[in-house]
Amino acid sequence: MNKPALSPAVITLLDLNRQIRQAIDGVFNGLTFWIIADITSYTYKSETNYHYFELVEKDKLSSIIVARMAGKAWGNASINITNFEEATGQKFKNDINVLVQVSVQYHVAYGLQFNLIDIDTNFTLGQFEQQRNATLARLVKENPSFIIKVGSNYLTNNSKLYFNKVIQQIAVIASITSAGLQDFEHTLASNTFNYLFKVDRYDAKVQGEENAKPLLEKLIEVYHSKKVYDAIVIIRGGGAQSDFILFDNYELSRAIAKFPIPIITGIGHQKNETIVDLMAHSATKTPTKAAELIIAHNRIFEESLIRMQKMIIINSQQQLVLHTKALNNFKGYFFRDVLRLLHEHQRHIMGISGIFINMPIMLLTNQRKDVATLIDKIKTFNRIFLTHKKIKIDHYQSIVKVMSPQHILNKGFAIIKLNGNIISNSQLINTGTELIIQLAKTEIITIVKSKKQR
């Protein structure tokens, strides 16, 4: 087949592309547009600081791409992308929805494309906040049995748990190479009260949205370990702001909200709380703060023991002083009674002594017999009196002994305490209440399973 001869109507591809460029420049030169689109086919050339990507729009119902355009960014646009990543914590990558300012450019060699000029951080932050609020609303709606919104706070099964009196057995979910874990363990080990802790490490990646599921699996591993932990601590070391996205994950937050062991978070954020923070028992800003919370909790318990010890010593001293005073009073009364009786008999003897001197020997003999009898009576009375007083002393001593709490406990009785206080009102005890039962030589911590009125 013969090729057509060249004629004035035939032009080169380069010439045609130049005409297209002129036409497009005539319409779009100097114009910029703000558009909403998804990022795909993203690559970054670090040596030139160029970003290459495609902007696509998808049908909302079918997700089919209905529009596509190649794009690139360099120079100030690259700086704007870096600022966007720092402000939002979101990497500029595939499958993110963005609001970008672009200009239209046609290159004779590369074709039609968009030049990215700027990217709106507020649009992306608003999307994050919408997603976060949607996740919180879903958690409350789908899990009313263990997640309840109260005002601006969230009441979960985990947040309703009580810490044990002493936190000692701890499971830590963290990257074992992170500085955050080192800070946490150093703070525990160097506490000024010399508390000892047993920390089990569960190695996990706690940065990046894609690690939400592995982190959840690590939490399940702690549960299946069957170890009796006082608390679980989730620690995150350093990293980009975007690493917090995994802590807004629905499944992870749901699992934490219903977890049966108190969970403490120390994931290193200084601004807004993550959803995981809201679902957990206690949220702290840093791993160090998480360790300080545990130490402070144990210190509160130790101080309560010290106060109780002081109260016991003071009460014991007061009882000792009271009983000593009572015994001294009794001894004073006893000796005064004996002396009074002796003085009375002495006066009686002195009164009749004159009669004995002037009476005949027989009368004197009879009187001596009477005196002897009287002396015997005095001795008998004194013996009876002393015996009676001794019985009273023994009785008082028995009362003192019986009143001793330790004596009562030795008989098999027990003292029941709620929140460190002795109680006798059964109305204060409910099913699930944690009680301390104090026996003679043992203190038992128990949970009430059932309650029956008599």
pLDDT in tens, 9-20: 789 998 898 999
**What are the distances in angstroms from CA 17 to CA 5, 97, 107, 397, 402?**
22, 32, 8, 117, 111
The overall average pLDDT reported for the chain is 86
Q: Could you confirm whether domain 129-300 is CATH 3.40.50.1100?
A: no
Residue 201 has pLDDT above 80, yes or no: yes
Describe the crossing of helices 121-142 and 250-258 by its angle, rounded to 10 degrees.
40
CB proximity list for 393: less than 8 A, separation 6 or greater:
327, 330
pLDDT in tens, 333-354: 777 776 777 777 777 777 666 5
Residues 322, 315: Cα–Cα separation, whole Å? 11
| Domain positions in the chain | 13-119, 129-300, 310-401, 404-454
pLDDT in tens, 113-164: 999 999 998 888 777 778 888 899 999 999 999 999 998 899 999 999 999 9
Helices (H), 42-94: 76-88
pTM confidence score? 0.56
pLDDT at 370: 80
pLDDT in tens, 306-339: 999 999 999 988 888 888 887 888 777 777 776 7
The pair phi, psi for residue 394, each rounded to 5°, is -60, -35
Residues 235, 184: Cα–Cα separation, whole Å? 8
Residues 359, 209: Cα–Cα separation, whole Å? 126
Q: Which amino acid is at 98?
A: V
Please give the helix or strand (H or E) that residue 55 lies within, else none.
Answer: strand 50-58
How confident is residue 43, by pLDDT bands cut at 50, 70 and 90? very high
**Beta-bridge partner residues of 418:** 421
Dihedral (C-alpha) 289, 292, 294, 297: value to the nearest 10 degrees?
-120
- What is the average per-residue pLDDT within 32-48? 92
Fold of the domain spanning 13-119: OB fold (Dihydrolipoamide Acetyltransferase, E2P) (2.40.50)
pLDDT in tens, 166-176: 999 999 999 88
**Beta-bridge partner residues of 52:** 43, 72
Q: Which amino acid is at 367?
A: Q
